[in-house]
Amino acid sequence: MRRVTPVRDGVGVGLATAAYGISFGALAVASGLDVWQTCFLSMVMFTGGSQFALVGVLASGGVAAGGSAIAAAALLGIRNVVYGMRMKPIVDRGSLAQRIAAAWITIDESTAVALAQTSDRAARLGFWATGLVIFVGWNLTTLAGALIGEALGDTRAWGLDAAAAAAFLGLLWPRLKRFQAGAVAVAAAVVATLATPVLTPGLPVLVAALAAVLVGWFDLFSRRSRA
């Protein structure tokens, strides 16, 4: 019975996460991408936070903000490099194709399920089950969401032009349990608010990210709260 637990956990997490693809598909179309561009982005990029960041910047600045959108998505994607280093001893085996596939599906959820297991074998099962279910489900729901968004026509009439920010806030909110994390978020929000009237769309996000890195790096608020 214990042997199937990682797979069961992975499938459960994978199905729940894949459902968010509907939101991404609709938001991507609202930001100016067509259905096939949206589907290609989900298949190639395949990291939800970065994808939402990309379409969020595009929604606010259009094609002119493309460079800033890519930079914002890349900043969020850096965390996957850390996940890859952590997961390498567990999944770095098999053929070259298997290793490439493992790198492709190394995301928040597959890493979390794998690291929650008590043995390397269980970790591998949880990793592959989670990653594969999310990859297939995310791409299918992205297509569904993109088709829905295209059918709606003027997405601004339905409020989808503001939904990208709301969706990203929903992803961020569970991480704000500690005082330091909240301080980083507030500092970034203040900087972005001040920079928005004077900088071109997309750049306030990068400036806010730099502010967040500085506040988080020195851990000032965390040390003060402990004191």
Q: Pull the structure tokens for residue 218.
A: 């020195």
Evaluate if residue 2 carries a pLDDT over 50.
no
Evaluate if residue 97 carries a pLDDT over 80.
yes
Residue 1 confidence (pLDDT): 39
Residue 142 confidence (pLDDT): 93
pLDDT average, residue stretch 73-97 = 81
pLDDT-based confidence at residue 12 (cuts at 50, 70, 90): confident
Contact of 152 with 41, CB cutoff 8 Å:
no
The neighbour count for residue 96, using CB atoms within 10 Å, is 7
| pLDDT tens per residue across span 21-39 | 888 888 888 888 889 999 9
What residues contact 70, with CB distance under 8 A and at least 6 apart?
Answer: 54
Residue 172 confidence (pLDDT): 64
Evaluate if residue 122 carries a pLDDT over 70.
yes
| pLDDT tens per residue across span 137-176 | 999 999 999 998 887 766 556 665 555 556 556 656 666 6
- Residue in this structure with the two tokens 């997309």, named with its chain if needed: 202
Phi–psi pair at 19, nearest 5 degrees: -60, -30
Residue 35 confidence (pLDDT): 92
- pTM, two decimals, is 0.70
Q: Pull the structure tokens for residue 215.
A: 């506040």
3-state secondary structure of 116: coil
3-state secondary structure of 57: helix
Which amino acid belongs to residue 31? S
Q: Where is pLDDT greater, at 68 or 43?
A: 43
Residue 166 confidence (pLDDT): 61
- Residue in this structure with the two tokens 């996460």, named with its chain if needed: 17
| pLDDT tens per residue across span 44-72 | 989 887 888 788 777 766 655 666 677 77
pLDDT-based confidence at residue 85 (cuts at 50, 70, 90): confident
Average pLDDT, the chain: 78
